[in-house]
Amino acid sequence: LSLSRAEAKNLKALYTKKGRRLAGRFVAEGVRLLEEAERHGVLPVHAYWAPALVSERGAELIERFRKSRVPLTQLSAAELARIAGTEMSQGIVAVFATPAKSGEPDVFSGRNVLLCENISDPGNLGTLLRSALAFDFDPVILIGACAEPFSPKVVRASAGAIFGVNVFEATAGQAVVQAVKSGLTLIASGAKGTTDMDQILSDNSSSGLMLAIGSEAEGLSADIMNVADKVVRIGHTDRVESLNAAIAGSILMKACYDRKSLR
Amino acid sequence: LSLSRAEAKNLKALYTKKGRRLAGRFVAEGVRLLEEAERHGVLPVHAYWAPALVSERGAELIERFRKSRVPLTQLSAAELARIAGTEMSQGIVAVFATPAKSGEPDVFSGRNVLLCENISDPGNLGTLLRSALAFDFDPVILIGACAEPFSPKVVRASAGAIFGVNVFEATAGQAVVQAVKSGLTLIASGAKGTTDMDQILSDNSSSGLMLAIGSEAEGLSADIMNVADKVVRIGHTDRVESLNAAIAGSILMKACYDRKSLR
C-alpha cells in the first residue's frame, strides 16, 4: 500500500518531456481516458490507484486490469494526489509504453493522412488527433515544432484518440516523399487558398489525400506550400482573420469523410 | 512611469471573476488580440504598456490608442510583468468595459443564433465564439454553467471574436422563448440525433436557426432536448465516442454558412 521513493520519482518524471523520452513511457489519468485505451486494445504497463478515490466505474476498470494481469499498485488518496498531474485523475494513474514511431513511415496508398506542422498548442494537437480518428485520417504525421503527442495535455485533449491513431514524427522532406511514394494528393490548408474542398474532392475520386495543417500564426512553411498539389481555403466571413487550426483541420477532414462515405 | 499600489490592486483584481464582475471591466493582452478589438471598433478604457517589451507593431498600436485618446500608462518591464496574466502580453495590457448583456435578448428573426449549454472549458467556449463570428452565427447565447465569456482564457481562445460577436447570458427557458418569438428552428446537436445537417438545411430554407451545443460529457439537458425541433448528428467513425464540443459546433455552423451562401 505504498510507493518507494525511487518509484515515486520515476513516476513524477513521466510528467516531464525528458522523463518520458528516457523511460519510453507516458501517463494517462482518469476513467474515461483509460476506458478509451482499453477500447483500442491498449493496456497500461502499470496502474496506480487509490480505492478511496475511485468511482464504481473506476473500480470495475481496475478489476478488468487485474484480470488482464496489468501490474497494479494500491495507494492512499494522499499518495496518489502527490503523483497525479491533475485533479482529474479520479483515483487512477496508468503508465503506458510509448509506441516507437519516428522516422519515415510506411507507404499508405489509398488512405487519408493528416500532416500537422508546428501545431504547438497541446489542446489543438489533441483535438486534431481526435478528429482524425473520427473522420478516418490515419496515420497523423507531425513535422516541425509540434506539441509532444504523449504529453499529458495532448493525451487528455485527444480524449483517448492517441491510443487509436498512428502518430509519426518526421521531417517535412520525409512527409513529402511519403505522399509521393503513396500516390497521395498533397492538399495544403491556407488563407491564400483558391480551391474549395468540394472541388478538390470531386477531382480526386480515387487516391488518398495528405491534408496539411499549419500553425494559425504562420500558416504552412514553404517546404510544404511549394510542393502542394492544391491549396484549399475554408470560406468564412471577413469578421475573423482566420479559424482555429484544429477547427480548420476538422472541417476539412469531415468534408473528406462525407465524400468518402458517399462512394 | 509607475503604478500606485491601489491601481495595481485594481488591475490584478480583473484577473479574478469577482473582480471583473465588481468593476464591470475585463482585460486583454497581446498585440494581435488588441488589433482585433480595434478592427471591431472596440477601444480599451485604459492601456498599460512597457516600451522595452513592445514590438514595432505594438508601438504603432499604442500610437493609434494615443490618437484615439485612450488613457495610457507607461510602465517598466518589471511592473508590467507583475500585472500581466501571461507571458504573452507582448508588453501591453488593456482594460475594456464589459458589455451589459444578460437577461432576455431581443428578437433575432432570420438570424442564425448559437446556443451554448454548459460549455465549461474556456478554450472550447472561446473557439466557439470565434467560429460563430466566422460562420455568421450572432448572437451567441450562454446557458447553464458555461465558462465566463470575459475571462482571460476565453478572450484569448476567441482570438478577438469576443469583441465582434454579441454574447448573452440567459436561462434555458429564456433562450427557448427567444427561439419561438424569433421564429427560429431549434436544432439540438446530439449523439442520438437522427437527422443530418444537409437534410435540416434543405427543409428549412428561409427562417433562421438556433443551434444548441451541449457539454461533451453530458450532452444537452432535457430543457433543450425536449423542445428541440430536430436533433442533428454529425456522422463519424465508431473509433471515437464523440467529437470535441467546439469541433462539433463549428462543423455544424460551417454547414449552415455554406448553405446560406448558396442562397
CB pairs under 8 A between A and B: 105
Q: Which chain B residues touch A133 with a CB distance below 8 Å?
A: 237, 239-240
Cα B211 to Cα A119, B76, B113, B253, distances in angstroms = 29, 47, 6, 8
User: Which residues fall within 8 angstroms of residue A108, CB to CB, at 6 or more apart?
Assistant: A139, A178, A182, A184, A208
Name which of A135, A240, A251 is nearest B161 (Cβ-Cβ): A240
For residue A101, pLDDT beyond 80: no
Q: How confident is the model at residue B201 (pLDDT cuts 50, 70, 90)?
A: confident
Scanning B55-94 for CB atoms below 8 A from A yields none
Window 144-183 of B, Cβ < 8 Å to A: 157, 159-161, 164
Q: What percent of chain A has pLDDT over 70?
A: 94
Mutation for testing the A interface, residue in B130, B244, B252, B259 having most A CBs under 10 Å: B244
Q: Which residue has the cell 511592473?
A: B79
Cβ <8 Å between A247 and B242: no
Where would I find the beta strands (DSSP E) of chain B?
25-29, 46-49, 72-74, 92-97, 112-117, 137-143, 167-169, 185-189, 209-213, 230-232
Q: Do B130 and A164 touch (CB under 8 A)?
A: no
| Residue A205 pLDDT | 61
Please state, in angstroms and as integers, the Cα–Cα distance from residue B77 to each residue in A125, B30, B256, following that order. Answer: 33, 14, 46
CA gap B112, B124 in Å, rounded: 19
Place of cell 490592486: B9
Q: Do A247 and B247 touch (CB under 8 A)?
A: yes
Residue recorded with cell 451562401: B261
Quote the cell numbers at residue B25: 471591466
Kindly indicate the confidence band of residue A119, based on its pLDDT and cuts at 50, 70 and 90.
very high
Q: Is the pLDDT of residue A247 over 90?
A: yes
**pLDDT of amino acid B198:** 79
Structure-model confidence comparison of residues A110 and B114, the more confident one: B114
Q: CB of B238 within 8 A of CB of B206?
A: no
- What are the distances in angstroms from CA B137 to CA A236, B19, B127, B129? 11, 30, 13, 9
- In the chain, the amino acid numbered A221 is S
Which 3-state string (H, E, C) describes chain A?
Answer: CCCCHHHHHHHHHCCCHHHHHHHCEEEEECHHHHHHHHHCCCCCCEEEECCCCCCHHHHHHHHHHHHCCCCEEECCHHHHHHHCCCCCCCCEEEEEECCCCECCCCCCCCCEEEEEECCCCHHHHHHHHHHHHHCCEEEEEEECCCCCCCCHHHHHHCCCHHHCCCEEECCHHHHHHHHHHCCCEEEEECCCCCECHHHHHHHCCCCCEEEEECECCCECCHHHHCCCCEEECCCCCCCCCCCCHHHHHHHHHHHHHHHHHHC
Asked if pLDDT for residue A97 goes beyond 60, the answer is: yes
Whether B231 and B238 have beta carbons less than 8 Å apart is answered as no
Q: Is B68 or A200 the better-scoring residue by pLDDT? A: B68
Nearest by CB to residue B250, choosing from A164, A242, A251, is A251
Q: Which residues of B touch A232 (CB under 8 A)?
A: none
State whether residue A256 sits within 8 Å of chain B by CB. Answer: no
pLDDT tens-digit series, residues A10-68: 999 999 999 999 999 999 999 999 999 999 999 999 999 999 999 999 999 999 999 99
Does any CB of chain B come closer than 8 Å to the CB of residue A130?
Answer: yes
**Residues in B touching A159 (Cβ below 8 Å):** 216, 240-242, 244
Please give, rounded to a whole number of angstroms, the shortest distance from the CA of B260 to a CA of chain A: 11
Q: How far apart are CA B173 and CA B144, in angstroms?
A: 11
Q: Considering only alpha carbons, which residue of chain A is nearest residue B259?
A: A235
Contact between A155 and A33 (Cβ < 8 Å): yes
Model pLDDT, residue B259 = 81
Could you please report the per-residue DSSP string of B57-111? Answer: HHHHHHHHHHHTT--EEE--HHHHHHH-SSTT-TTEEEEEEPP--BS-----TT-
Is the Cβ of B41 closer than 8 Å to some Cβ of chain A?
Answer: no
Q: Between A209 and B190, where is the model more confident?
A: A209
Q: Is the pLDDT of residue A81 over 90?
A: no
**What is this model's ipTM?**
0.93
| B111 in reach of chain A (CB within 8 A) | no
What pLDDT is attached to residue A157?
Answer: 96
Q: Tell me the mean pLDDT in the region A150-163.
A: 96
Residue A34 has a pLDDT of 96
Residue A104 has pLDDT above 70, yes or no: no
The DSSP secondary-structure symbol of B191 reads T
Check: CB of residue B52 under 8 Å from CB of residue B25: no
Rounded mean pLDDT of chain B? Answer: 91
Query: Contacts of residue B244 in chain A, CB cutoff 8 Å?
Result: 127, 130-131, 157, 159, 246, 250
Out of A48-62, A99-113, A229-243, pick the least confident. Answer: A99-113
Q: At a CB cut-off of 8 Å and minimum separation 6, what does B218 contact?
A: B118
Can you count the helices (H) and strands (E) in chain B?
A: 11, 10
Please judge whether B244 and A127 are an interchain contact, meaning their C-beta atoms are less than 8 angstroms apart: yes
pLDDT of residue A204: 65
Put simply, whether A120 touches B (Cβ < 8 Å) is: no
A236/B36 CB distance under 8 A: no
Among candidates A30, A32, A12, which has minimal Cα distance to A22? A12
- For an interface test with B, the pick among A88, A254, A257 (most B C-beta atoms closer than 10 Å) comes out as A254
The CB-side HSE value for B23 (13 A sphere, CA atoms) comes to 21
Closest CA to A122 of A86, A96, A158: A158
Q: Is the pLDDT of residue A112 over 80?
A: yes
Task: Give me the pLDDT at residue A186, please.
Answer: 95
Q: Is A250 on the interface with B (CB under 8 A)?
A: yes
Select from B240, B246, B251 the Cβ nearest to the Cβ of A133.
B240
B136–chain A Cβ distance below 8 A for any pair? yes
**Continuous segment of H or E residues that includes residue B178:** helix B172-181
Q: Residue A1: is its pLDDT beyond 60?
A: no
